[in-house]
Structure 1
Amino acid sequence: MHDSSMRTQERVERALRERIRPAVLCAGVPLEVTVNHLPGEPVPAREAIAGEFRPARAGERWGPPWGTSWFHVTGRVPAEWAGGHVVLRADLGFSGGPGFQAEGLIYRPDGVPVKGIEPDNTELLIAERAAGGEVVDYYLEAAANPPVIEQAFRPTDLGDVRTAPREPLYVLTALELARTDETVRALGHDVEVLLGLARALPENSGRGREILRVLAHMLDELDTGEVADGAARARETLKPLLAAPADHGAHRISAVGHAHIDSAWLWPIRETVRKCARTFANVTALAERYPELRFACSQAQQYAWIRDAHPELFARIRAAVAAGTFVPVGGMWVESDTNMPGGEALARQFTQGQRFFREEFGVTCREVWLPDSFGFTAALPQIAALAGTQWFLTQKLAYNEVNRFPHNTFWWEGIDGTRIFAHYPPVENYNAELTPADLAFAADRFTESGAAERSLVAFGHGDGGGGPTAEMMERALRQADLAGSPRVEVRTPAEFFTAAHAEYPDAPVWVGELYLESHRGTYTSQALMKQGNRRSEHLLREVELWAATAARRGLAAYPYEELERLWRTVLLHQFHDILPGSSIAWVHREARETYGRVIGELESLRDAAQRALAGTGDRELAFNATPHAWAGVPALGAAEAGDDGAPVAVTREPDRIVLDNGLVRVSVDGRGLVTSVLDLTAGREIVPAGTAVNLLQLHPDRPNSFDAWNVDEFYRNRVEDLTGVESLDVEGAVVRVRRSFGSSSAVQTIALAPGSRTVEFGVEVDWHERERFLKVAVPVDVHTDRATAEIQYGHLTRPTHANTTWDAARFEVCAHRFVHVGEPGYGAAVVNDSVYGHDITRTAHPGGGTYSTVRLSLLRAPRYPDPDTDQGVHRFGYGLVCGADLGAAVRAGYRMNLPRRTLRGAGPIEPEVVVDDPAVVAEAVKLADDRSGDLIVRLYESLGARARATVSVRTPGAAVETDLLEDPRPGGRSFAAGDPVVLELRPFEIVTLRFAAGGDDE
């Protein structure tokens, strides 16, 4: 860059910083201020306003971490300000940018919220043209949220109100009335955009040199007097520059207002409610000033919070939705993780979200909106399409550490072949500010340039920063059609996707998961989040199944309200910083307590429904909630408990313990490790020579950044095999091994049930390590270069080699209930009851060939953002299924997570639903959400093959195929009452059937 250009840029920047922007503030007068410091948690506005206030002033310290102070400000607009533009200006002691520090919300005296206050949103309009003498009377709720993000990658005690210090964090800087010069403010916007554009253009750009020449001339004129006196003339000087139209073929930016608000992260859930109120108040106020604003807002949960906490604000949102300025998007209850939630849970994210948006706004969202979730399951395209959406957006692929994702606009194909139109914005930022640098970066990074011409930019401060600002809207207006800049149109996501699809219908296709090459540690961090989620999901399945069965037989009322509330609680905790374990200690402490309550309530509902079905009697009944028959108990039904097979023989020899049930023989050596698993039916040894199953392994775990989020591949460079034994005992048919390591201990169990081909393992770990990673290894003697992992409504096959950088980057993966490895003619599965993180590797045999090792990731111990992550006692269950094909893996995974439960009753209970093809799994049996009494049965093909299945219902009525929202699918299948319900399913197809209420009431 030429020295003269550099000097001109420096001159303009200094003038903007030191002369123009300060001149916006013409005069200020202090307000009368009193304060009510709340001693504990926040309270409703009317309660706080009714409290005791004492005098306060600027310069006073306030706000211990997580505390709340209410400031009452009163005054009058000076008479001499008549005709002027007057604002209330508030500075709570801000330092740095928006979000992650103090925030405020201004209320009227009647407790109605008006506007949020954040570092880039410090003004409340009092009068555009003041009459003079106007009375000012407001309350400001100030939240002393600590700057936790400044502690990044270091342990902090600020992450929980119970451990944070109590000294005040902030100094009240200003609460005053100010008269502002809007002409000077507009000049500042002009100069900022032009200077930014000159910097974004190529070094030798004629347009850039022209801009700098005119800006320098403008400053020459402005320097002759006060900025206010010359502002209008200066704007006239710059007008030709701003009027020059954009170049032919300039990239098109669809600018969408946005405020990404994590439903919990570096703050607790209760604070998210307040962040939403502040931001939504800002947006509705901004929309009144800029009717061209289009603000995309996802997460039905956040709307529900505002509806319940601030009905007046929610009414403003409703009006803005009707006017088109406030745009519900995403159709999900929260912006959830999509790796770990089960299939039915992901479906319910959409059914609960879409139903809320329909009921409250009359809107069905058409796009999946997940800018920040940590990778995306290959099951999502089909789930999303069945929920009424046709487009998908994420920004998170910018976090890939190795491979740049090759497309910005593309078709995404899921495991069943469903495709949705997808966009990954090249701006690589979901909190953009619409600066010329943002726009130039987006245009430069757009990979489809030449074939397509448009991308989306989400602009606005997130996470409590207040969303879009007037400054951003002014940039959008100036860059709508500006020479040297991409064209900017403020549009809705639907308008963008419609236009993008029309111009690029033949976009490239990406098949399979959108694996994020980062944040792999979230499959493991905060293990109790994973266990609470898995247990809750399966209990919800059971409650719906047994309650629907009981209700259809007139034995008990269906618990609609309870199930909706519990589902929504579980869905909230699947948010992409709660379930993944990447929030502060406070969030996870509360989540553990919530999961405990949810599980307890679900167990009570399950027990009540089962007791109603069992009736009175003394026969021992076994309830089976799995989709497959199990030891004489029908699928989704109950029968008399019977004998599972011959007892297990246990032999204790000098150097080993042997368990044998006639199908499998297991040898445990003196270290408590399984050195042999002999499949007696196949006559095949499963454990590779020289290895051991159920080997605990400990690694150092110090990622380069994002401690709770990331596992970096170099953790593998060092490993400690935990082979020391404190005791080795046999209790019945269970081998129990006690070990100690570091500051921790573990008790492992090895068991073999009668008639079972699954070797069952359990481990209880009293975990007190720091920055270490605990895994358990299960080597399997099969030669393969791939592994099959269960995902939602099916499975995904991934390479286990590292041929390409894409393969190598996938060194830690997510799986649900099973991982299967096999070669033609033989395979094995590793199943689990609460684990998601896995790695699967290949090792060469000394004599030739390879074997596979499946490792389950049990525990981590990152220090940030929760310094005590996972400290304490944890229990895990897993198993090795011998001679398993994919069908056996599916069945074993369900059985481990839905164990049979026995109680006494009158006699066997006929299943409400029977599916005759074991490949077709009944994932949900429930009553319809509309409370019609209709029966909903959701099924999927589980093996990746075509299937033909007959679905029988005990009390049949007419049946129709629906979408996930339980509405008839256009062109869907239908069956008259009494006709057989026969389905032809493609691989991994999801089918939802709605059976009309009817039948007997016995």
Structure 2
Amino acid sequence: MGFIKERIGKFLEYLKEQIYTKTEEIPYWYGKNEDYRYSEEERNNLPLDQFFTLKREEIFGGHRAYFSFYTTWTVPESFSGKTVVFSLETGKEGAWDALNPQFSLYVNGVLRQGLDVNHRECILSENAKAGDEYKIFLTCFTGDQNYSLKMMGAFRILEPRVEKLYYDLSVPYDTMLLLEEDSEEYITILQKINDAINLVDFRVEDSPAFYESVERAIEYFQKEFYETYCNKEKFPVVLSVGHTHIDCAWLWTLAVTEDKAVRSFSTVLELMRHYPDYIFMSSQPQLYMYVKKNAPEIYEEIKQRVKEGRWEVEGGMFVEADCNLSGGEALTRQFLYGKKFFKEEFGKDNKILWLPDVFGYSAALPQIMQKCGVPYFMTTKISWNETNRMPHDSFLWEGIDGSRCLTHFIPSRDYKKPEVEGGSGQDFYTTYNADLNPSQVKGSWKRYSDKELNKEVLCSFGYGDGGGGPTKEMLEKDIRMKQGIPGLPRTQQGTALSFYDRLHKELCEKKDIPVWCGELYLEYHRGTYTTMARNKKWNRRGEFALENMEALQALTELLSLQNNPSYPRERLHELWLILLRNQFHDILPGSSIYEVYEDSKKEYHKLFFELEELKKEALLDLLGNDAVSEKNGLKELSSAWLQRDFQSDVDCAGSWENGILGNADSERAKQTCDASLLLWNPKQNRRGELISLPLPGYENPIVSLGEVEYLLQKGEQGDYLLDLPSLPGFGFSKFTLKEGTSQEVEKVKKNQGEEDTKTFLWEKRNGGCLYISNPFFEIELNARGEFVSFVDLRENRELLAKGSHGNVLRVFEDRPHNYDAWDINDYYSEKPYEVSELLSMEVVEEGPLRFSLCIEKKFLSSRIKQWIRLYKNHPKVDLDYEVDWKEHLLLLKNFFSFDIQTREASFDIQYGNVKRPTHANTSWDKAKFEVCHHKWMDLGEDGFGVAILNDSKFGISVRESTIGLSLLKSPLYPNPMADKEIHHFSYSIFPHQGSWKDSDMISYVYALNNPAESFLFSESAGNASALNSALGNTDTFSFVQVEEKNIQLECLKKAEHEEADILRLYEFHGRRGKANLSFHAPIKKAYLCNLLEEQEEEILDTGNNICVEIKPFEIKTLKLYFK
């Protein structure tokens, strides 16, 4: 007999149509175009006279618009005793849910669930009563659909018996279609389904005879197929957990996400009421905070489901953060505050780092995870690699320090028969938004790379990105697949944590567990290191600003003369959450819409200016009332960048402008008595730096520290430059500032040797070329401002490769074949354009401390100003930029080709550094044509090297000895305004003798990224301030110092939950040894802790000093109780 397969397919189509037996369409709705949250009382008493009417076939919409809709319905006699559902279609069914209309459904004033293109119905009653009234209220977000929607609502009778038979037969049928037609499983399934459909009597639909035949078919198939032929104990198993990936912001704003979270979570709860075996998992405390604020009744029900074990709160981090760009301390706080929330709100400790959709994973993560009590890691994103497939899906991932975490890549994907495999670069692509159906269940096991190690894989199922979650259809299919259908892995719902615990136990018994060492580099989305430059800059500044404030507040409390000093824990916690939220993996990488970045700008504004207020409060405590009276005032001198970056908002210095220089004219400034200049170094002791001081009214300022006087250089912008030999670690230096007489100025010049020699030499040469020299370098520039010679005088060595130039600004056509904002493809280099149109080249500063050459260029409609700066005392060349960028689909890079022989380069990452190849020997090496780094990278050979330091740039290319720092990338999608604005950024060229480890590179890295903060104030003699008490008879104070050059003190803060201090440090040379720490105050007790500040080991015999053993790249956290 032929065409049985086709017969069954047609039968199932017809049977599906019989699931709904009667329908009453809603002829019209009351509607209102508004974004308003009605209370339950308001929903039951709507002002319908203010609403318009929308007929069933009428079109409505608007781009990202909000509407409210309302109707009522009384159950008719014909629906009595039946299962009744409300259904809604908009004409967008089958389209991507993330950008299509989404609704919140309220029934009789109570939120029931979300509705979207995949979730289109809600059960009103399983035993409807005639005469009952239902008030249906909907809030609608139209998404990206502009006036193309309909409100096609209806009330329908659902026949559960027909629905059951449909899924009983369709799931084995879909499985059968994946099998070889001559296989035993295919033939058996075909026969059993055919026998079952022969029992169904279609002669009179919706009749007792029809339903009796349906029941007979159900009974037959249950006994002859599910009970006899299926195996509920079979392996392999696809462990399935419901999930909805919700991007906190992407193609929608954070405000839209608040509603997405409520809609998605309410849908989960509604389905749980009907499917008792349904288990759901969701990460990101930020989403739960939104639900708690906007739908407290939903939040309380979630808590109950968590207690029942049906709702899993997991994930590790506060949001699913970008792991390339976020700093080490910020990643630590993602875990600290993320785990804290879930523990306090739900009593659950997170064990899994759940990052399905992040664009690469730093080699620092395994140690951070282990020290935060998170031993397990999950992603699917590495399957998006364009070039290489990862060799394993279950393995141990080893970080830079040797820490390991158990990793599992979800292998969910559609099944492909062997004859259709191949021919696509994405044959190994997997998803975290699985549709729980036979194709993806079978595809998951086929795609899994480690079948010999383990017989179980993880599957997170449900619509995601824009939320939504699992559907009724998925759960119905799971009921059948968990029976163990032949030819298909068996499904089993469970928690992600239970899966990882079993995987851990399984792999512990194996001898040869695969290990992947180093970063999990995503061979895709390389443009996210560069797109939306301002967010990347503000993120780095925000990280430092928060750490600085914690240190300042901690020291202020330790030094305070008050009995009850106040450490602003809650305020700092809220500010940290702003930063962490903006590290979400579509905000910080630059892959969101324009509106997201307008909101982000407001959030950063709030962060920085509230930190300014906290800074002022701390200084009031530290300096005492005499020093900061309204008469004498207090002025911060180091916040000019805030005024520049946020000039369109408010004057950021407003809270400081009652000081002696705030709003002071030059005459008043001249008349003032000697002022005190306070420098605060928020990191460890380091070599000096050049500090810019805006001092209006001063003509010959002289700064003194004790008996030593310093001459200040007048800068190009009217500020003054102070060059200091050293700065105390986590401490202060208090200088005296005065207006010098001509005789005093000459004396200082003589003492500094300025009157005898000229530090900087320069001359113009033929063809518009320029020669510059200082005690360290000789540089020759061509007429375009490019380096044609760069000689290190200490080594008498030409640094540029033969025939190459340095400081070459080059623009590339940047038209990725997939995703504008996300990608840089390797073919970008095939179409370069030189930035060659020189507008001006002018010497603007000539010492004695700094030499500056300003070069202005034009490229198309954009202007690029670059300052090349050389120094008297610092062996580096700074390149400062102001770029007014107006282009799109172009990538701006700066290139240097150095005469250095090496096959690898070093790159700064969180809590350490990694080495990467500079060659393209293998496909893995070649794929890393653009990589992510943090504050520095170094290209070195034995005895010499050159480092590139930056203040906000992350993307970089290094091939052989050519370094290309990515400066700006301006995509069109999804934000056509991305990077089309004025940018300010800096980087430094730092040649060094020996290895970078032997040089002062790290001092200059922090001077560039986190310069000392300066404050001007005036105090009366004998002012008994906390600062003066700490200084004693000296002018400098250091709270903590470390002897070893390979130890970085990263963080000083108050403990989260007690009156102790936390000091975090790490080793960054890859050297085993000790860290010797000296403190200003004697220590009563000290403990080694994990990153969550949980005590692990007491440190004995401390006094004022602590010595701890430290391994290569190890992070150490100390909890200190001072006497």
- TM-score under structure 1 normalisation? 0.92
Q: How does 1:455-604 map to 2 (within 5 A)?
A: 455-480=457-482, 481-505=484-508, 506=510, 507-554=513-560, 557-604=566-613
Q: Write the distance in 2 (CA, Å) between the matches of 1:441 and 1:227.
A: 38
8 Å Cα contact 1:379/1:415 also seen in 2 = yes
* 1:69 match: 67
For 2:307, the aligned partner's letter is A
* 2:730 match: 636
* 1:688 match: 801
Q: Write the distance in 1 (CA, Å) between the matches of 2:259 and 2:124.
A: 23
Q: Determine which of 9, 15, 24 is the counterpart of 2:11.
A: 15
* 1:984 match: 1109
Instruction: Provide, for residues 649-689 of structure 1, a one-character-per-residue CA deviation record: whole Å limited to 9, x for no partner.
Output: 14223244444442333333332122333322233222223
Structure 1 range deviating more: 189-198 or 517-526: 189-198
Instruction: Provide, for residues 915-964 of structure 1, a one-character-per-residue CA deviation record: whole Å limited to 9, x for no partner.
Output: 2222111111111122x231111111111111311223333331111112
Q: What SS class does the counterpart of residue 133 from structure 1 fall into?
A: coil
| Alpha carbons of structure 1 residues 554 and 218: separation in structure 2 relative to 1, 3 Å | same
Q: What SS class does the counterpart of residue 943 from structure 1 fall into?
A: coil
8 Å Cα contact 2:94/2:118 also seen in 1 = no
Instruction: Provide, for residues 244-267 of structure 1, a one-character-per-residue CA deviation record: whole Å limited to 9, x for no partner.
Output: 234986321110111011111111
8 Å Cα contact 2:560/2:622 also seen in 1 = no
1:570 Cα offset (Å): 0.9
Q: Write the distance in 2 (CA, Å) between the matches of 1:248 and 1:310.
A: 41
Q: Write the distance in 2 (CA, Å) between the matches of 1:60 and 1:312.
A: 35
Aligned pairs, how many?
960
1:127 Cα offset (Å): 1.4
Q: Write the distance in 2 (CA, Å) between the matches of 1:831 and 1:759.
A: 10
Q: Write the distance in 1 (CA, Å) between the matches of 2:492 and 2:570.
A: 44
8 Å Cα contact 1:24/1:182 also seen in 2 = yes
Asked if 1:103 corresponds to 2:102, the answer is yes
1:109 Cα offset (Å): 5.0
Q: Write the distance in 1 (CA, Å) between the matches of 2:205 and 2:944.
A: 82
Q: What SS class does the counterpart of residue 382 from structure 2 fall into?
A: helix
* 1:401 match: 386
Q: Write the distance in 1 (CA, Å) between the matches of 2:22 and 2:923.
A: 60
* 1:946 match: 1072
Q: Write the distance in 1 (CA, Å) between the matches of 2:169 and 2:149.
A: 33
1:308 Cα offset (Å): 1.3
1:895 Cα offset (Å): 1.8
Q: What SS class does the counterpart of residue 332 from structure 1 fall into?
A: coil
Structure 1 range deviating more: 216-225 or 789-798: 216-225
Asked if 1:710 corresponds to 2:823, the answer is yes
For 2:540, the aligned partner's letter is R
8 Å Cα contact 2:250/2:592 also seen in 1 = yes
Asked if 1:207 corresponds to 2:333, the answer is no
Structure 1 range deviating more: 528-537 or 588-597: 588-597
Q: How does 1:659-698 map to 2 (within 5 A)?
A: 659-698=772-811
8 Å Cα contact 2:250/2:593 also seen in 1 = yes
* 1:83 match: 81
Q: Write the distance in 2 (CA, Å) between the matches of 1:450 and 1:723.
A: 59
* 1:163 match: none
For 1:268, the aligned partner's letter is T
Q: Write the distance in 1 (CA, Å) between the matches of 2:272 and 2:925.
A: 47
* 1:328 match: 313
8 Å Cα contact 1:62/1:171 also seen in 2 = yes
Asked if 1:618 corresponds to 2:675, the answer is yes
Q: What SS class does the counterpart of residue 98 from structure 2 fall into?
A: coil
1:213 Cα offset (Å): 2.9
Q: Write the distance in 2 (CA, Å) between the matches of 1:879 and 1:203.
A: 67
Q: Write the distance in 1 (CA, Å) between the matches of 2:966 and 2:974.
A: 20
Q: Write the distance in 2 (CA, Å) between the matches of 1:28 and 1:665.
A: 86
* 2:919 match: 801
Asked if 1:225 corresponds to 2:203, the answer is yes
Q: Determine which of 167, 191, 201 is the counterpart of 1:189.
A: 167
Asked if 1:861 corresponds to 2:970, the answer is yes
* 1:236 match: 219
Q: Where do 5+ consecutive residues of structure 1 fail to align? A: 148-166, 843-851
Q: Write the distance in 1 (CA, Å) between the matches of 2:882 and 2:897.
A: 21
Structure 1 range deviating more: 825-834 or 770-779: 770-779
8 Å Cα contact 2:239/2:457 also seen in 1 = yes
* 2:992 match: 883
Q: Write the distance in 1 (CA, Å) between the matches of 2:1041 and 2:843.
A: 41
* 1:846 match: none
1:901 Cα offset (Å): 2.5
Q: Determine which of 882, 887, 899 is the counterpart of 1:781.
A: 899
Instruction: Provide, for residues 28-50 of structure 1, a one-character-per-residue CA deviation record: whole Å limited to 9, x for no partner.
Output: 22458643423457677766775
Structure 1 range deviating more: 504-513 or 238-247: 238-247
Q: What SS class does the counterpart of residue 522 from structure 1 fall into?
A: helix
Q: Write the distance in 1 (CA, Å) between the matches of 2:40 and 2:52.
A: 17
8 Å Cα contact 2:237/2:456 also seen in 1 = yes
8 Å Cα contact 1:320/1:326 also seen in 2 = yes
| Alpha carbons of structure 1 residues 751 and 645: separation in structure 2 relative to 1, 3 Å | farther
| Alpha carbons of structure 1 residues 440 and 82: separation in structure 2 relative to 1, 3 Å | same
Q: Write the distance in 2 (CA, Å) between the matches of 1:277 and 1:581.
A: 26
8 Å Cα contact 1:252/1:486 also seen in 2 = yes
For 1:639, the aligned partner's letter is S
Q: Write the distance in 2 (CA, Å) between the matches of 1:785 and 1:46.
A: 71
Asked if 1:304 corresponds to 2:289, the answer is yes
Q: What SS class does the counterpart of residue 378 from structure 1 fall into?
A: coil
Q: Write the distance in 2 (CA, Å) between the matches of 1:791 and 1:308.
A: 36
Q: Write the distance in 2 (CA, Å) between the matches of 1:186 and 1:249.
A: 24
| Alpha carbons of structure 1 residues 189 and 570: separation in structure 2 relative to 1, 3 Å | same
* 1:164 match: none
Structure 1 range deviating more: 733-742 or 679-688: 679-688
Q: What SS class does the counterpart of residue 995 from structure 1 fall into?
A: strand
Q: Write the distance in 2 (CA, Å) between the matches of 1:645 and 1:57.
A: 88
| Alpha carbons of structure 1 residues 436 and 602: separation in structure 2 relative to 1, 3 Å | same
1:54 Cα offset (Å): 4.1
1:807 Cα offset (Å): 0.5
8 Å Cα contact 2:1054/2:1060 also seen in 1 = yes
| Alpha carbons of structure 1 residues 14 and 763: separation in structure 2 relative to 1, 3 Å | farther
Asked if 1:812 corresponds to 2:930, the answer is yes
* 1:966 match: 1093
* 2:436 match: 434
Q: How does 1:150-169 map to 2 (within 5 A)?
A: 168-169=147-148
1:899 Cα offset (Å): 1.4
Identical counterparts, % of pairs: 32
Q: Write the distance in 2 (CA, Å) between the matches of 1:819 and 1:284.
A: 50
Q: Write the distance in 2 (CA, Å) between the matches of 1:224 and 1:995.
A: 80
Q: What SS class does the counterpart of residue 533 from structure 1 fall into?
A: helix
* 2:128 match: 130
8 Å Cα contact 1:81/1:130 also seen in 2 = yes
Q: Write the distance in 2 (CA, Å) between the matches of 1:974 and 1:226.
A: 84
1:302 Cα offset (Å): 0.5
* 2:695 match: none
8 Å Cα contact 1:77/1:177 also seen in 2 = no
Q: What SS class does the counterpart of residue 537 from structure 1 fall into?
A: helix
8 Å Cα contact 1:788/1:820 also seen in 2 = yes
* 2:710 match: none
8 Å Cα contact 2:388/2:924 also seen in 1 = yes
For 2:397, the aligned partner's letter is W
8 Å Cα contact 2:89/2:150 also seen in 1 = no
Asked if 1:924 corresponds to 2:908, the answer is no
For 2:1076, the aligned partner's letter is T
1:594 Cα offset (Å): 2.3
| Alpha carbons of structure 1 residues 222 and 743: separation in structure 2 relative to 1, 3 Å | farther
Asked if 1:374 corresponds to 2:350, the answer is no
* 2:1037 match: 910
Structure 1 range deviating more: 863-872 or 513-522: 863-872
* 2:636 match: none
For 1:233, the aligned partner's letter is R
8 Å Cα contact 1:679/1:883 also seen in 2 = no
Q: Write the distance in 2 (CA, Å) between the matches of 1:342 and 1:764.
A: 25
Q: Write the distance in 1 (CA, Å) between the matches of 2:204 and 2:450.
A: 49
Q: Write the distance in 2 (CA, Å) between the matches of 1:82 and 1:241.
A: 35
* 2:873 match: 755
